[in-house]
Amino acid sequence: TSTSENISAQALNCMLAFKRAYHSAYETQLQRLAHDTQYRDEMVRWNLRTTFDALPDSASREALGRDICHLCFGKLLQRKGRGAKTDLRAKRAVVFTFLSSLKELEVRSLFALFMRDFVAGSSIDFSARCIKFTDLREIRVSVQLGFVNMFTDALQQMGDRVLPFLAPILVLLLKIL
């Protein structure tokens, strides 16, 4: 078992401990998402749009979306083995395709996770006219390049789902370039 899988499993156990209705209804699917060898199959099987449309209110949809995005985010970063770059691109394609049916409210936390290293403060308000960014000189070039590559992959797989988050991301990209 890998370290990231252990962390994902422990984080999921913490989430499940709160016994939210949307967690218990989808506990098996969430556990498979946290598992390194089962997540791809689960992403193919699980129709997120149907699941989210069945939830009773926007608060539940936002919360489940946040939890799924957090579980999936580690998969977007994780590299292993010889063909790590190719494997990472393939993983990202699977994860972004899986998340592409989510609506703005449901996927917002994924884009906040993308930008967390670059934003001053603890949270990102995508509706704000101005987001205060960290001084890029304090952020390793490899992290900056990783952000550019991840956003490129997200744009390719998620298409217009990135539009609500595009303004601050473009500002950040311009700062990086």
Q: Give pLDDT tens digits for 90-115.
A: 889 999 999 999 999 999 999 999 89
SS3 content of the chain, % helix, strand, coil (to 5): 75, 0, 25
Q: What is the CA radius of gyration of the chain?
A: 16
Residue 60 has pLDDT above 50, yes or no: yes
Determine the pLDDT at residue 1: 46
Q: How far apart are CA 7 and CA 16, in angstroms?
A: 14
Residue 48 has pLDDT above 60, yes or no: yes
| Across 1-10, 43-52, 105-114, 119-128, least confident range | 1-10
Confidence of residue 121 (pLDDT cuts 50, 70, 90): confident
